[in-house]
Structure 1
Amino acid sequence: MNSPVVLITGALTGIGRATALAFAREGNRVVVSGRREEAGQALAAELRALGAEAEFLRADVRFEAEVRSVVEQTVARFGRLDVAVNNAGTEGQLAPIAEQTATNYEDTFSVNVLGTLLSLKHEMRVMLEQGAGSIINLSSIAGQVGIAGASVYVASKHAVEGLTKSAALEGAAAGVRVNAVAPGPVATEMLDRFAGGSEEGKASFLATIPARRAATPDEIAQTIVFLASDKARYLTGQSIAVDGAYTAQ
């Protein structure tokens, strides 16, 4: 079977889940990864019900041995790795800089930055040897602008953008593409937390978006599927804002 092999970290909810479903509907072989065994097995079964070959592999991206194992198991199961979507992330504790802590910095960066770095490291080793592959990192509009009250999260996503550009330069000549998707507000639980858990806060936030609404997870997933495809085969080292024109202001 020649359909592409796709690995998605942080795949169990929100954008990650929508991305797994989108790739499965396209006929890809999909490996979903996350920290919750029961939810992961349920998602894999849902993907198989759509007709896709699918597996769940448990991993916490903060730990290199677990990241390495997921990549190695994916290759052992399917023979290659064509697409990797590094989606695992956290917003951490939202607070003004004057109230931030070293603990929140460590917790946020260990997932968003170290997790992305470790994933890139082991995914690129496989793809460079293959001479082909596409990696999509999940950034955010927070990787391109500042957000008051979210300094640590913003810093972590700026770091993801830097990792993306550097990895793209290292992989370009070998046929390995690395890009980022930078969503604006998306209709997920994270948006509720950013809005302080209130409908008023959410409405106020969305009023700053020219499109006057949040994206759906599937709208972000469709952008990821496009970036992974041969239709984007000359596109690398870029961060694509999917944000309802927020960063155009």
Structure 2
Amino acid sequence: MSDTAATTYLVTGATRGLGLALVSAIAAKDPSAVIYAGGRHPSGTPRLVELEAKYTGRVVPNSTGKVHETTAQNYEDHFAVNVLGPIVLFQAFRAILKASPHPRFIAISSGAGSIGLVGNISIDNAPYVMSKAALNWIICKIHFENDWLIRQSIIKDTTGKFKEVFDSLIIRQPDEVANILVDTVSESTREKYGGQFHSVDAGRHDW
């Protein structure tokens, strides 16, 4: 976020699902916001292209199993996205965040990555679960190493292989979740949410 009147957002994974919904929600809720929407193929996402046209100059697209049954490559792929990705992002934007009057670094995690919930959520996708647990640790560590930063991890996983597990829970659509997230982030302070693991449905979770 910048130190000017306008708030600047960087949203990764913005070509589909929750990332795309976040871009739409932020643009609608904050008329002064500038949003950098990152994804693998942003120009090939019709809805993102529409948002860019609707909010000219404000939405800027940018290119960016079980344990014993899973290959090492599968683990590497998940960790590259869910662990190394956020680390590289934080390293790249730390100076910009520190210059902001209200710096926030928000990670979208999963209840499956909570060690405290491991006995309650059964998902046979070890690479994903482990990578989210690692992400939670990294974000928590960032919080304690940077006392000027509002750091928060938020749960939302209801798609793909996990839909069957989450069908028994409260399921929200990406647009609804995005609106909740934008409101939560807007009101967040280090004292209120910093160093914590929150769900859009169930409040605070154990790490």
Q: TM over 0.5: same fold? A: yes
Check the 8 A contact 2:139/2:151 in 1, yes or no. yes
Measured in 2, the distance between the counterparts of 1:24 and 1:156 equals 30
> Which structure 2 residues correspond to residues 5-154 of structure 1 after superposition, within 5 A?
5-26=8-29, 27=31, 28-39=33-44, 43-50=48-55, 53-59=58-64, 95-144=65-114, 145-146=117-118, 147-154=122-129
1:167 aligns with 2:128: no
Measured in 2, the distance between the counterparts of 1:218 and 1:171 equals 31
How many residue pairs match? The answer is: 193
CA, structure 1 residues 118+49, in 2 after alignment: closer, same or farther (shift >3 Å)?
Answer: same
Of 106-115 and 44-53, the range deviating more from structure 2: 44-53
Superposed displacement of residue 11, structure 1: 0.6
Measured in 2, the distance between the counterparts of 1:127 and 1:40 equals 28
Which of 169, 181, 185 in structure 2 is aligned with 1:228? 185
Superposed displacement of residue 37, structure 1: 4.0
Question: Runs of 5+ in structure 2 lacking a partner?
Answer: none
Identity of aligned residues (%): 25
What's 1:72 paired with? none
Check the 8 A contact 1:136/1:224 in 2, yes or no. no
Query: 2:90 aligns to what SS in structure 1?
Result: helix
1:183 aligns with 2:153: no
CA, structure 1 residues 184+116, in 2 after alignment: closer, same or farther (shift >3 Å)?
Answer: same
Question: Runs of 5+ in structure 1 lacking a partner?
Answer: 60-94, 186-190, 196-201
TM-score (norm 2): 0.82
What's 1:3 paired with? 6
TM-score (norm 1): 0.69
Query: 1:10 aligns to what SS in structure 2?
Result: coil
Q: Let me know the Cα RMSD of the aligned residues.
A: 2.5
Measured in 2, the distance between the counterparts of 1:155 and 1:2 equals 39
Superposed displacement of residue 127, structure 1: 1.1
Measured in 2, the distance between the counterparts of 1:120 and 1:110 equals 14
